[in-house]
Amino acid sequence: MTAKGKHMKKTTIEDVAKRARVSKGTVSAVINAKNSVKAGTRDHILEVMKELNFRPRGVARNLKNGTPDNSIALIIKDMSYPFYTTIAAGAKEFANSKGYSLIVAASDDDHTCEKQLSHLFSAKDIKGTIIAPIVQGAAEIEHLFKLKMINYPFVLLEDVRGIQANVVAVDNIKAIKRAVKYLISSGHEKIVHFAGPPQSSHTQERIEGFRYAFSESTLAFNKEMIVSVGSHYDECYTKTMEFFKNREREDYPTAIVCFNDHQALAVMMALKELGIRVPEDISIVGNDDIYYAKIYPIPLTTIRAPQEEIGKRAAEILIRNIESSTLLPVERVVLDTEFVVRESSRVLTD
C-alpha cells in the first residue's frame, strides 16, 4: 500500500451513522441485510455509504509483527482447469507486489457455492474479490447486487447482464471470427461450433463471432452449425459421441471450433473412439491455449488468451478501488488474443 494509503483516515460505521442521522445498530442492520430497517431508511444509508466510500470491515486480524493482513480473493470456476490457475498466478504476482496476499477458491461451477464464497469474503475483511461468475439467469445475480449495495470492491472476469461492474475479459467475438475465417480460407465449408454453457456471456460472444465470420464470407450460416455441448469433460465427450452417432459420414463437418481447450480434448477423445481422424477427417480448433494444449494427442490449434495478463489487470483494478478514498468509475478492460496454428487443423486440398 502507498504511504498515502497507510495514513488515510478510513471511513467508519460511526461516520456513516452520523451523516445518515441514524444509530450504529441501524447501519449494521443494513450491512447485514436484515429486514428490520424500513426501505426508505435503508436506501438513504446505502446512499451515504457510497458518498463516503464506506466499506464494511469484517473481524480485523493483524500479523504477529503488527502489520495489517491485506488480502484479496479470487473465485474461479474450476481449480483443475489451467486457464483459471494461470489467471490466479498473474493475480497473485501483482497482489504480492502491492503488499497483498491472494486467497483462491473454486466454485466448482456451482452458483450456490459462488454466492456463499462471495458472502464469506465480503464479511471476513478480505479487501476485495475477483470473480469468474456463474450465470444462470437474471434471478441468480442477487449476490452481486448485494456486493455493490455495500460498496464492496469486486472485478468480474466476464460480463454479467444487468450488473455495472469492473470487468476484465478477452475479445471473444474477434477471436472466434478470426479462427473461423482461417478455416474458411483453408478450404473448409462444413464448419460447426461446439458451444459452451448456454447462460455464459462467453458462450454467446463466441457464437456471435462464429456468425460474423460467415456473414463476411460467401458461405451461408444456419443454426444447425451451433451445437450446445457444455464445458465439462464428461458432458462434452458424451454429447460429441451423440452428435456423430446420429449422422451419416457424408454429413460430418470438416472442422469443429470448440468453446475451450478442455472441451477440445474431450472431442478429440470421442473422435478417436469413433475412428475419426484429427486432422485428416476433421480439424479441431480450441480456445484459451492452456499450457498443455501443445502436448495433446494431436497438438491443438487454438486461440491464445493472455491468461496471466487477465489476472494482473483484474488485481490491479481491484487494488486501485480498495485503496481509493473516493468511488472510482467502473472499468471494462478487453484484451486481445492470438491465433496459434498447430497439428490439429489442416488446409483442405481440391
Which one-letter DSSP state was computed for residue 224? G
Domains within the chain, CATH numbers bracketed: 3-51 (1.10.260.40), 71-170+307-336 (3.40.50.2300), 172-305 (3.40.50.2300)
294 and 300 in contact (C-beta within 8 Å)? yes
pLDDT per position as a tens digit, 30-53: 777 677 778 788 778 878 887 777
The pLDDT value recorded for residue 57 is 63
Q: Which three cell numbers stand for residue 70?
A: 491485506
Distance of CA 327 to the CA centre of its chain: 24
Closest C-alpha to 306, from 291, 288, 287, 294 = 288
Q: Which three cell numbers stand for residue 304?
A: 491464445
Please report, in angstroms and rounded to a whole number, the separation of the first and last CA atoms in the chain.
62
The pLDDT value recorded for residue 181 is 96
The pLDDT value recorded for residue 58 is 54
* CA–CA separation, 192 and 190 (whole Å): 7
On average, the pLDDT of the chain sits at: 88
140 and 108 in contact (C-beta within 8 Å)? no
- Strand 302-304 versus strand 338-340 pairing type: antiparallel
User: Considering the entire predicted model, what is its pTM?
Assistant: 0.81
Strands (E), the chain: 71-76, 101-106, 129-131, 154-156, 166-170, 191-195, 226-228, 255-258, 283-285, 302-304, 332-335, 338-340
